[in-house]
Amino acid sequence: MTAIAPSPTLAETLRSRRERLAERINFPVMLWSGRPRARNFPANTYPFRANSHFLYFAGMSLTNAVIRLDGKRLTLFMDDSTVEDALWHGPMPTCVEVANIIGAEAALPMSELPKAAQNVATIPVQDGITVAEQMTLRTTVQPAQDKALAEAIVAVRLTHDAEAITEIRKAAAVSTWAHRAGMAATAVGQTEAAVRAVMESVIVATGMTCAYNSIVTIQGEVLHNERYDHVLQPGDLVLADVGAEAASGWASDITRTWPVTGQFSSTQRDIYEVVLAAHDACIAAARPGVEYRELHFLACRTLATGLAELGILKGDPDGLVEQDAHALFFPHGVGHLLGLDVHDMEDLGDLAGYASGRSRSDRFGLAFLRLDRPLQAGMAVTIEPGFYQVPGILQDAVRREAYSDCVDWDRLAQFQDVRGVRIEDDIFITAEGCEILTGELSSDVDTIETAVKSQKVM
């Protein structure tokens, strides 16, 4: 069992979360935390992370525990650690002690689970053994009820309460320090791995973990690059997408792109400024009622305008975006929901990301848009436009033909030293606009150059 230090207001927060859920459903719910997954044999596991829906309502990262929500009533199911557990993992709070911390009305051993699991709705967890247990114990599964539960949980988790946003802020602050440390540690001859190590050490030293696999790469065009073996050379850009997850499970997600030497080339600076203009325009426009999809298109138009001004794209920006010409260089969406999951609630597919009645487009420029809802006060989302030269897209004969009138390929060839640029911040939607949760970390060209050149954390 893994336990984290709970906040003093945890029980109250959890009660209010249960109330918000109870307003939307009229059937009992059981949520499983899940078990550690074996890495290569059962005693050697991947780091455990409790299921996010469980974590939202239970507030503590408990292994192999279950909660039952019945209206506002909370029951915790968990076995106390055995002498053998304590031998390997140390003493842990008992079920009754945990129940007191989280404000559960009842604390029961797992042997009581089968009786309590009839006619409950649930959401499958991340590990196969626990999913099998969920299926075996729930002999009377009603898919419509499970769907109604998922929809109700999405409605509750879409906007964040004070406890959640406090935790996201903590994670964001640590991510900010990790990026500063990464810039200061960057030098010609270092490996990507060395920069990654410095960044992650800031996160680990605060007792946090990484919210997702870090991307620290000179191959910024590989969107989810997980190689770290390249040696940094003069002229390379480092793209670092690294975010901390607080011990409570709340995530942050930051990307910065910086030159290895501390000096952008003129072509790198030109493209960086175009991406930054898209980033800034989206943040300036983010407020309640605005469709996130419109922010995405705002980013696309701003990128198209900037690339046309640089002579890379040809034509008027609106027309270029209509044809998805911008997607040659910006093939992903402008961001996503952020919460307990870095792509919040993406375990539910597009149920959280897409408003009821909407579904993903298969259009080149929209297929990877993860969020298509009007913004609401209390939501946290990322804003992360980018520019990438992906060989699989730009060398594709069919696309080159389709976009032959839109791209000046000779002009593009002059920007060969810009493989990938992304600038990503986390924003919190307020009543009037938004607050940049990661705004302490500048994205301004001169500040970034100074941070890399100074070789000290600024």
* Buried b / exposed e along 302-315 (16+ C-beta atoms within 10 A): bbbbbbbebebbbb
Residue 212 site contact among Mn ion, ligand GLY, none (CB < 5 to 8 Å, cut-off depends on kind):
ligand GLY
Binding residue (CB under 6 A) for ligand GLY from 133, 167, 253, 426: 253
Taking the complex as a whole, the smallest distance from the CB of residue 142 to ligand GLY amounts, in Å, to 34
- CB neighbours of residue 43 within 10 Å: 9
Among 382, 389, 438, 443, binds Mn ion (CB under 5 A): 382
The residue from 133, 372, 384, 426 that contacts ligand GLY (CB under 6 A) is 384
Residue 175 binding result from ligand GLY, Mn ion, none, given CB thresholds of 5 to 8 Å by partner type? none
Q: Which is nearer to Mn ion, 217 or 382 (CB)?
A: 382
Q: Answer yes or no whether residue 200 interacts with ligand GLY by CB under 6 A.
A: no
426 binds ligand GLY (CB under 6 A): no
Site string for ligand GLY, 335-354 (x = CB under 6 A): -x-----x------------
Question: In the window 310-329, what residues touch Mn ion (CB under 5 A)?
Answer: none
241 binds ligand GLY (CB under 6 A): yes
From 27, 212, 354, 368, residue interacting with ligand GLY (rule: CB under 6 A): 212
| Sequence-separated (6 or more) residues with CB below 8 Å from residue 458 | 180, 184, 450, 451
Site for Mn ion in 406-445 (CB under 5 A): 424
Q: In the bound complex, what is the minimum distance in angstroms from residue 336's beta carbon to ligand GLY?
A: 6
Least gap, CB of 148 to ligand GLY (angstroms): 29
Q: State the number of binding residues for ligand GLY (CB under 6 A).
A: 7
What part of residues 219-258 is at the interface with Mn ion (CB under 5 A)?
241, 253, 255
Considering only CA atoms, give the Rg of the chain: 24
